[in-house]
Amino acid sequence: MTDVLILGAGVAGLAAGRDLAAAGRRVQVLDKARGVSGRAATKRFADLRLDHGARFFTARHPRTKALVEEGLDAGWLREWTRQIPVWEAGTIRTPADGHPRYVGQSGMSDIGKALAAGLEVYTGAQIVDIQRRSDVWHLTSADGRTFEAPTLLLNAPAPQLAALLPEAGALAAVTLHPCWAVGVALASDLEATWPALRLEQHPALEWIAREHTKRPGPPALMLHARADWSAQHLEDAAEDVQAALLAAAREVVGGFGVEGRFAHRWRYATPDQRFPDACGWQPEQQLGWCGDWCASDDHGPRLEAALLSGWALAERAQQNRPEHAVPT
């Protein structure tokens, strides 16, 4: 048995785990995927590494700024751009915000990998049963492995957690929109100077990025569909989604040749109704949850919001630790 189990190796869960481990708690992180980082995901595709989940990382708070400095110094983070132009009805304008957007040196998943360093992480662990008995959480994976700890922290889409823990009624109020993402290996680069476009009032697309502007590599695009379009086409075949979004992209940027492509469906991507606090915490149950779907700041559901949520949850768990936890 360990001190703290964290279900979900997204950046929020890893941020919480890193803080608790630094405070002397024994921590195990579980995730059903083959790797860490959750939606801060990078797809290896041919000779490409495409960020098909989180697009970049911004830092407005002192602690996230400190993490940026850590990443820049260590070499796993780099600044990408300070401007993301906006496309609307065929016109491109550049907002005057000018704040830096950061990306992983080899992909957005680098952020999760850095946070996971030194933690005890079990991937490929699809949890199918969660029970609390005698003040201890017992988790069972699909392959029969069992994990035990007095404290359980959850970092996964709220609808999935609500299904596992129907008694945690606050989670049921959180709603998330889906997102279809399509990665494209280009035959040649576009005749463009922008690193990415944020689309407004487009019927299908909300994001087009020239991914090779993030890091050296062959020319490539990353397309993200609008939430409403994704919901309408949620169960469409991947080939049909690719064809539709490629056609939509050509309407915006002009013709381009395709060397290869893939589609990925994020069933739970963008929060609509967020959890009203930075995290959830039930001290009597030693149960908490975190994620970008928690209202950890006023800037919306971003990677920074996930980090802030994870750090907030670690603080609450540490302040309300059970008596039999390992002392710091």
Residues 39 and 146 in one domain: yes
Question: Does any domain span residue 152?
Answer: yes
Residues 60 and 168 in one domain: yes
The pLDDT value recorded for residue 27 is: 98
DSSP secondary structure, 122-155, as one string: E-S--EEEEEEETTEEEEEETTS-EEEESEEEE-
Question: Which pLDDT band holds residue 171 (cuts at 50, 70, 90)?
Answer: confident
Residues 252 and 308 in one domain: no
| Buried-exposed string 105-125: b where 16+ CB fall within 10 A, e elsewhere | ebbbbbbbbbbbeebebeeeb
For 210, other C-beta atoms within 10 Å of its C-beta total 20
Question: Which pLDDT band holds residue 160 (cuts at 50, 70, 90)?
Answer: confident
Question: Does any domain span residue 326?
Answer: no
* 54, pLDDT greater than 90: yes
Beta-bridge partner residues of 147:
139
Residues 168 and 214 in one domain: no
The pLDDT value recorded for residue 328 is: 38
The pLDDT value recorded for residue 49 is: 93
- C-alpha closest to that of 247 among 209, 204, 200: 204
Question: Does any domain span residue 296?
Answer: yes
The pLDDT value recorded for residue 10 is: 96
Mean pLDDT of 301-328: 84
- CA distances 16 to 83, 125, 263, 308, 309, Å, are 31, 19, 31, 9, 8
Residues 168 and 237 in one domain: no
Question: Does any domain span residue 15?
Answer: yes
128-132, 155-159, 171-175, 192-196: range with lowest mean pLDDT: 171-175
Distance CA 308, CA 119 (A): 19
Distance CA 34, CA 232 (A): 29
Phi, psi angles (nearest 5°) of residue 68: -60, -45
Residues 10 and 153 in one domain: yes
Mean pLDDT of 108-127: 96
**pLDDT per residue as tens digits for the range 22-35:** 999 999 999 999 99
* 327, pLDDT greater than 50: no
Question: Does any domain span residue 302?
Answer: yes
Distance CA 90, CA 198 (A): 12
* 136, pLDDT greater than 80: yes
Judged on CB neighbours under 10 Å (0-12, 13-18, 19+), 169 is: exposed
Average pLDDT, the chain: 93
* 199, pLDDT greater than 90: yes
Question: Which pLDDT band holds residue 326 (cuts at 50, 70, 90)?
Answer: very low
Question: Does any domain span residue 90?
Answer: no
Q: Which domain CATH number covers 120?
A: 3.50.50.60
Does the pTM surpass 0.75? The reply is yes
Residues 57 and 202 in one domain: no
% of the chain with per-residue pLDDT over 70:
97
Residues 282 and 140 in one domain: yes
Residues 247 and 315 in one domain: no
Residues 138 and 46 in one domain: yes
- Number of domain units in the chain: 2
Residues 113 and 188 in one domain: no
* 38, pLDDT greater than 60: yes
Which two three-digit tokens encode residue 327? Answer: 């002392």
Question: Does any domain span residue 120?
Answer: yes
Q: How many residues does the chain have?
A: 328
DSSP state of 326: P
Question: Does any domain span residue 91?
Answer: no
Distance CA 76, CA 42 (A): 14
Q: Which domain CATH number covers 188?
A: 3.90.660.10
% of the chain with per-residue pLDDT over 90:
84
Mean pLDDT of 39-52: 92
Distance CA 213, CA 310 (A): 30
**pLDDT per residue as tens digits for the range 228-251:** 999 999 999 999 999 999 999 999
Full domain range(s) for residue 144: 4-82+106-172+274-319
The pLDDT value recorded for residue 168 is: 66
Question: Which pLDDT band holds residue 5 (cuts at 50, 70, 90)?
Answer: very high
**pLDDT per residue as tens digits for the range 247-267:** 999 999 999 999 999 999 999
Indicate the Cα dihedral angle 27, 33, 38, 43, nearest 10°.
140
Residues 17 and 115 in one domain: yes
